[in-house]
Structure 1
Amino acid sequence: MTAELSPIDKAKYAAARKSVDFVENGMKLGLGTGSTAAWMVRCLAERIRNEGLKVTGVATSSRTADLARELGVPIVGMDDVKWLDLTIDGADEFDPNLNLIKGGGAALLQEKIVATASDRMIVIADAAKEVAQLGAFPLPVEVVPFGWRTTMALIEETLYSLDVLNREVALRMDESRPLKTDEGNFILDLNLRRIGNPRQLALVLNQIPGVVENGLFIDICDIVVIGNGDGRVTVRDINSGRVEDGSVDLAQSANIFADLGE
Structure 2
Amino acid sequence: MGSSAEIVGFGRSVRKLHLSKLLNSTKMSGIEEGKKCAAFAAVDELVKDNQVIGIGSGSTIAYAVQRIATRVKSENMKVICIPTSFQARQLILQSGLTLSDLERHSELDLAIDGADEVDAQLNLIKGGGGCLTQEKIVASCARDFVIIADERKDTVQLGQRWEKGVPIEVIPMAYTPVMKKIQQMFGGQIELRMAKQKAGPLVTDNGNFIIDWKFSADKVWDWTATSTQLKMIPGVVETGLFVGFARKVFFGTADSQVTTRLAPTATLVK
Q: 1:78 to 1:178 in 2, by over 3 A?
A: same
Structure 1: how far apart are the matches of 2:216 and 2:78?
Answer: 43
After TM superposition, give the deviation of residue 226 of structure 1 in Å: 0.8
Equivalence for 2:87: 63
Per the alignment, residue 96 of structure 2 pairs with 72
**When the two structures are superposed, what TM-score results if normalisation uses the length of structure 1?**
0.86
CA-based RMSD: 1.5
Does residue 152 of the first structure (1) align with residue 179 of the second (2)? yes
SS at match of 1:111: helix
Structure 1 residue 80, shift from structure 2 partner: 1.0
| Shift in alpha-carbon separation, 1:38–1:193, aligned structure 2, 3 A | farther
| Alpha-carbon separation, structure 1, partners of 2:180 and 2:225 | 19
In structure 2, the partner of 1:47 is 71
Supply the distance in 2 between the matched residues of 1:180 and 1:35 (Cα, whole angstroms): 20
Give, in whole Å, the separation in 2 of the partners of 1:54 and 1:186.
37
In the alignment, which residue of structure 1 is the partner of 2:222?
197
Determine the C-alpha separation between the residues in 1 that align with 2:159 and 2:104: 36
The 5-angstrom pairing of residues 154-233 of structure 1 reads 154-160=181-187, 167-175=188-196, 176-194=199-217, 196-233=221-258
5 Å-filtered alignment, 1:29-40, equals 29-40=53-64
- Cα deviation, residue 240, structure 1: 7.3
> Any conservation in 1 of the 2:250–2:259 contact (CA below 8 Å)?
yes
Partner of 1:143: 170
**One-letter amino acid matched to 1:158:** M
SS in 1 for 2:98: coil
The sequence identity of aligned pairs, in percent, is 38
Q: Against the structure 1 CA distance between its residues 191 and 240, is the aligned structure 2 distance closer, same or farther, given a 3 Å change threshold? A: closer
- 1:108-147 aligned at under 5 Å gives the runs 108-136=132-160, 137=162, 138-147=165-174
d(CA) in 2 for partners of 1:128, 1:218:
20
Instruction: Tell me whether 191-200 or 172-181 shows the greater mean CA deviation.
Output: 191-200
Runs of 4+ with >4 A deviation: none
Which of 11, 15, 30 is 1:7 aligned to? 30
Alpha-carbon distance between aligned partners in 1 of 2:154 and 2:210, rounded to the nearest angstrom? 24
Alpha-carbon distance in 2 for matches of 1:139, 1:147: 17
Counterpart selection for 1:107 from 116, 128, 131: 131
Of Structure 1 and Structure 2, the greater strand share is in 1
> Is this contact kept in 1: 2:54–2:83, CA < 8 A?
yes
- Give the whole-Å Cα distance in 1 for the aligned partners of 2:246 and 2:265: 13
Segments of structure 2 that go 5 or more residues without pairing to the other structure are 1-23
Q: Tell whether the 8 Å contact from 2:121 to 2:264 is kept in structure 1 after alignment.
A: no
1:17-28 matches, cutoff 5 A: 17-21=40-44, 22-28=46-52
Q: Distance in 2 between matches of 1:133 and 1:240?
A: 18
Between the two structures, name the one with larger relative contact order (CA 8 Å, sep ≥ 6): 1
1:209 and 1:77 map into 2 onto residues whose CA distance is 28
- 1:244 is aligned to none
Letter in 1 for 2:42: S
2:189 aligned partner, one-letter code = E
What TM-score does the superposition give when structure 2 sets the normalisation length? 0.84
**Aligned residue pair count:** 235
Contact 1:134-1:198 at 8 Å conserved across structures: no
Distance 1:79 1:90, change over 3 A: same
SS at match of 2:87: helix
